[in-house]
Amino acid sequence: MGSLYRFLEPLILYALREEGPAHGYELLSTLQGHALTETPIDGPALYRTLRILEQNGQVVSAWETGRGPARRRYAVTAKGRRHLQEWREVLDHLQVALRRFVAEIGPPASKAGRGWGRPGRPRGRGVSASAG
């Protein structure tokens, strides 16, 4: 199944809220358990999203030095907590819409023929069988 990188934002904010400040690598491990698909979370996508969240003031980071190489430690801000609540509303609406859509796609067979037409048959003006 495809990746849903846009949904990394709420996952990151949630993990930082629940687990506290963390390094990117720690976040990557934590987020794998909350991923919305079975596709592993991509490290570069995680760091891109962290940068965006930081630019928007939703997370802050500080360099941590000591043993080993310097690493950034990320923490959620009050603005990030509010943004997570906004995501909660978006996800609630999405959940309702997805349930409705999945119900339309799936069984029962008695609904066959309703909606956009039968699978494999193009519908609409100007659509030829060779299109696609």
User: What pLDDT, on the 0 to 100 scale, is given for residue 40?
Assistant: 81
Q: What are residue 59's DSSP bridge partners?
A: 76
Q: Measure the CA–CA gap between 76 and 98, rounded to whole angstroms.
A: 29
Closest CA to 6 of 90, 75, 73: 90
User: What pLDDT, on the 0 to 100 scale, is given for residue 106?
Assistant: 85
Q: What are residue 60's DSSP bridge partners?
A: 75
Instruction: Answer yes or no: are the C-beta atoms of 35 and 50 closer than 8 Å.
Output: no
Instruction: Answer yes or no: are the C-beta atoms of 74 and 27 closer than 8 Å.
Output: yes
Q: Measure the CA–CA gap between 55 and 35, rounded to whole angstroms.
A: 23
User: What pLDDT, on the 0 to 100 scale, is given for residue 38?
Assistant: 73
Q: Select the CATH number that applies to the domain covering 5-105 from these four: 2.60.40.10, 3.40.50.620, 3.40.50.11780, 1.10.10.10.
A: 1.10.10.10
Please give the chain's pLDDT, 132 residues, in tens: 344 557 899 999 999 999 999 999 999 988 887 776 677 888 899 999 999 999 999 999 999 888 888 899 999 999 999 999 999 999 899 899 989 998 888 875 555 555 555 454 444 444 444 444
Q: Return the domain boundaries, the chain.
A: 5-105
